[in-house]
Amino acid sequence: MPWPKEHKAETRARIVHAAAAAFREHGLEQVGVAEIMRRAELTHGGFYGHFASKDDLVAAVVAEAPAESEASLAALRGATSPGGALDEATAYLSPEHMAHPERGCLFAALGPELARGSRGVRRPLAAKIQQRLSRLAASLSSRLSPAVRRRRAAGTLACMVGGIVLARGLDEAEASAFLKDVRAFVRDALAEDD
C-alpha cells in the first residue's frame, strides 16, 4: 500500500464532517460537491474516489453526523455521561442550539428534506430516529413502565425537534420566549406523577 493505512478513511471522515456542517447550515440542495470538497481542503474531482454520488454522501452524513451533534449538545449541557431526559431536552431547546444548526441536531436542520430522500437516505434516518427514542426512553426513571417511558420519549423528542424547527422560523426575541415556553412545557410533562 503506497499510502498510510488510515489515510483514505481519514480523508473520507473529513469530507463527511465538512458536508454535515454545510448541509445543516444551508440545506442539501444549496451546497454543492465542489463547496464541500473546498471545505475539506480538497478539489472536487476527488469526491468520486470516496462516494458513488452526492446522494451516497448524504446517506453517510445521516449515519455518521448524529453522533457528532449529540456530543456537541452534551458539551452544551456540560456533561460527559448521558443526562436525564429533561436535562437533554433543556440543552436541546436552548438559544445556542437554535442559533447553530451547523453543529446541532440533524433532524431539526434537515428532517423534511431527508424524509423525502432516497431509500439509501431514509434507511439510516429511520434507524437514527429510533436510536434516539430508545436512548431517551432509557434515560427516564426506571419506576415508570416501559410503555409510559416510550410515550414520554416520543413526546419529548417531538417537542425538541418541533421546538427548534419553529424557533428558527421566528424572530430572535420571539424565539427565545417561545423556547422558554416549550422547555417549561416539557418540564411539566415529565414531572407529573414522577
Partner DNA sequence: TGTACATCAGTGAACGCGCGTTCACTGATGTAC
CA pair distance 135, 139, nearest whole angstrom: 6
Which of 45, 162 has the CB closer to DNA? 45
Residues contacting residue 94 through CB under 8 Å, at least 6 positions apart: 76, 179
CA distance 150 to 102: 29
User: Nearest approach, Cβ of 49 to DNA (angstroms)?
Assistant: 5
State the Cα–Cα distance between residues 79 and 88, nearest whole angstrom.
10
> Per rule CB under 7 A, is residue 11 in the interface with DNA?
yes
Q: Would you say the C-alpha torsion 104, 99, 133, 187 has a positive or negative sign? A: positive
Q: Site map for a copy of itself, 17-36, x if CB under 8 A?
A: ---------xx-xx------
For residues 139-168, which are near a copy of itself according to CB under 8 A?
A: 150-163, 165-166, 168
Number of Cβ atoms within 10 Å of the Cβ of 51? 18
Which span sits near a copy of itself by CB under 8 A: 42-50, 53-61, 75-83, 177-185? 177-185
Q: Which three cell numbers stand for residue 117?
A: 430522500
**Residues for the chain: how many in total?**
194
Closest CB to a copy of itself among 50 and 136? 136
Q: Which residues here bind DNA, judged by CB under 7 A? A: 1-4, 7-8, 11, 31-35, 37, 42-50, 53-55
Q: Which residues here bind a copy of itself, judged by CB under 8 A? A: 26-27, 29-30, 101, 107-116, 122, 125-126, 129-130, 133, 150-163, 165-166, 168-171, 174, 178, 181-182, 184-186, 188-189, 192
